[in-house]
Chain A
Amino acid sequence: MWAFLHKLGSPRSFYAITERWLPPLWLAAVALILVGGVWGLAFAPADYQQGNSFRIIYVHVPAAFLAQSIFVTMAVAGLVFMVWKIKLADMAAAMMAPLGAGMTFVALFSGAVWGVPTWGTWWQWDARLTSMLILLFLYIGVIALRGAFASRDGGARAASVLAMVGVINIPIIKFSVDWWYTLHQTASFSITEKPAMPASMWLPLLLMVLGFYAFFIAVTLTRTRSEILRRESSKRWVRELIEEGH
């Protein structure tokens, strides 16, 4: 187990090992999202209150899950990078940050679109919406900080520290925003209380969530592999790979 992890930490063997993982991962991602999407959008029963507009849930919830998971994953990768100096962890963190920011935006945007038919407004200062918005700012901060450094190593370490500081703060922010929301607003409508869903509604949702996670892993691996080639382009094994025509 440890020997395998150690091997995985070196860019060259990571590149070789993950080559075998990619096809099944992409296949799982595409299949799960296709099945879950078609099932959810076309075959799942309409909500008795919201009608068909509830189907946005099949994009909104998986995106929101990913938005939060990616930030935590990024912070863990930052910790691994800072403690064990594994460059690969930083490459992965750098590659997943834009995807996380994108997912946060998708969650916010789909939430806004969903808000129009259900709440009658594009934006509501709801506790969840607000903490999602703050999460988006945290992502932008991490990406901007990495880009601001002239040296790649400095930017990598600074972004790792910021991701870790951010991940400690996310629960505090969440708690304070919940508190703020209960203080300042009477809950006119809430998305926290979901009606119990029948299986035909939540099964496609589960498939979509799993599909989004598979998609995230596949994208991160693919991008990290390209990043390895870019950063190690002067190494011999990369040049040999290119000469072989891969």
Chain B
Amino acid sequence: MSKAESRTAPLPEAGEASVGLAIAWRATLHRDLMLRLRRPGEVLNPLAFFALVITLFPIGISPAASLLATIAPGLLWVAALLAALLSLDGVFRDDAEDGSLEQLLLSPQPLSVLALAKVAAHWLLTGLPLALMAPLLGVMLSLPAGSYGVLALSLALGSASLSLIGAIGAALTVGVARGGVLLSLLVLPLYIPVLVFGAGAVQAAIQGGNVAAHLAILGALLAAALIFSPFAIAAALRISLNG
């Protein structure tokens, strides 16, 4: 409808184009959030997976609180990372199958910005809930007091980078049938810096180290990912849909 109008209308000025981009961005974000919220199972599955994996560790290793407390930061981070990874495959796959991803490619707005909206939707319904849930699981692993806030904050910051980096892998494997295992193979090595500094922040909070330094580097990683990954995601989507 709006497309037909824009055809007859004179060329939009620079200001109008950026307004159009903002509308398109919000519309993409809104659409993705709505689609995910209408299938709440997909939103809840990573959370259930996160809780389940955390349950496995005391059973597999030892229920002793002292032991669990020392490994809890790493366990929580690794489990949250795997839960986020699990949900990545769906970021572009449904849209690729029903053809709406091709419409994104054809739209006059830059694909990298629209892909960023899809990643933002993924983070809002995966990374953020995982970060909010982590303190609860921290209690179960008898994580020392005083590190719960840092745990949630580091996961919220870090999972945004994870979503951005992971979306590159998801975009590369969207054209591949059963790309799930391949996706984890591509993405997990790239997750290591985030894991190091995320788990490091929680460790620092427990041991009284410098938490701010870790969080600052997590923020720097997020800033770098925000700058570079949209272009890589857009390039990867073009390859997957045309190649």
Contacts and interface: CB of A to CB of B under 8 A. Distances in A.
Nearest to B194: A176
A116 interface: no
A72 to B, nearest CB: 16
Contact of A153 (B172, B228, B243): B243
Given A158-B236, A169-B190, A145 B182 contact: yes
Contacts of A154: 175, 239-240, 242-243
B188 A161 contact: no
Interface of B: 168, 172-173, 175-176, 179, 182, 185-186, 188-190, 192-193, 196-197, 200, 203, 221, 224, 228, 232, 235-236, 239-240, 242-243
A137 B189 CA distance: 7
A197 interface: no
B239 A173 contact: no
Contacts of B240: 154, 158
A173 B189 contact: yes
A134 interface: yes
Interface string A151-186: 101110110011011101100110111011001000
A173 B165 CA distance: 13
B161 to A, nearest CB: 11
Contacts of A153: 243
A138 B190 CA distance: 8
Query: Mostly helix, strand, loop or mixed at chain B's interface?
Result: helix
Nearest to A156: B243
Given A137-B185, A137-B189, A155-B243, A165 B173 contact: no
Given A165-B168, A173-B192, A183-B200, A145 B221 contact: no
Contacts of A166: 189-190
Contacts of B200: 179-180, 183
Contacts of B239: 154, 157-158, 161
